[in-house]
Amino acid sequence: MAPLVQLLSTVQGASALAAMAVLLAVEAAHPFFAFWTNRRDRAVHALRNLALGLFNAVVVALAFAALWLAAAEWASDRGVGLLNVARDRAGLPTWAHVALAALLLDAWTYAWHRLNHRIPLLWRFHRVHHADAQMDVTTASRFHIGEIVLSSLLRLPLIVALGVYAWELVAYEALMFAVVQLQHANVALPPRLERLLRRVIVTPGLHKVHHSRFQPETDSNYASLLSVWDRMFGSFRVREDLENLRLGLDDFDAPDDATVRGMLAMPLRPSPPGAPDRDDV
């Protein structure tokens, strides 16, 4: 299984870089929001976000990737976990194992994202992602290492409990990250295509609403891949006048907040006076 995981990881990295290059070019040619007046400011913004993403990727590769593989192989060899039990006792075919693994992983991603908005400690880390007032494809890589470490640790018991193969996890993440990059890109789909796709997946239009400064919109559209979870759990929200959205977070607009050092220090800052109480979300 390890060679397959390595192959999928290589494909994932290559496809992510290719998708980013394409979306950066599309953003430059046809931006939805006119954020930038010069190339230098756009490049500085992108490099800061990507530096944070690269740091996170290195930490995950060195500290967690082998643990995820070991957990998945341990569960598979012993028939532990929901999908492995179904495989061994009910003859669950491989295609169904893969499909259910993707659904369960996507459901967990929705739940984890929603918890990051609800629990104050988690929100302190997650707000680093939301504080980007010039959201573009590089924002998909802008996460605090604290959030990455917590989510990576929680994946260990999740992999065992679900009985997910390691290659299924890598394949799901490759697909999800491709969609997540599109969601954050400073582009817009043709209206008819946007309406069609959002019936199934999270589109750029839906995710722009999620990055709104208006809290009821910030606390909506939590899904990462399939939009069905927001529809099922009452967090689905559509807005047609996307050009009027104000992205980012109030009280986190200072120039220092956009630096790598400022982003890393952001969770340590107290919540601004009058900020919404995340326990009540």
Q: pLDDT tens digits, residue range 214-241? A: 999 999 999 999 999 999 999 999 999 9
CB atoms within 10 A of CB 8: 18
pLDDT at 279: 46
Q: How confident is the model at residue 1 (pLDDT cuts 50, 70, 90)?
A: low
By the 10 Å C-beta count (0-12 exposed, 13-18 middle, 19+ buried), 234 is classed as: exposed
Q: Residue for token digits 């629990």? A: 119
pLDDT at 114 over 80: yes
DSSP string for residues in 179-222: HHHHHHSS----HHHHHHHTTTB--HHHHHHHTBSSHHHHTS--
3-class secondary-structure state, position 45:
helix
pLDDT at 164: 96
Max CA separation in the chain (angstroms): 61
Q: Is the pTM of this model over 0.85?
A: yes
pLDDT at 281: 41
pLDDT at 280: 43
- In whole angstroms, what is the distance from residue 210 CA to residue 198 CA? 14
- Residue type at 156? L
- Can you give the residue ranges of every domain in the chain? 2-280
Buried b (16+ CB within 10 A) or exposed e, 150-165: bbbeebeebbbebbbb
**pLDDT tens, 54-89?**
999 999 999 999 999 999 999 999 999 999 999 999
- In whole angstroms, what is the distance from residue 22 CA to residue 223 CA? 24
CA torsion angle 18 20 25 27 (round to 10): 150
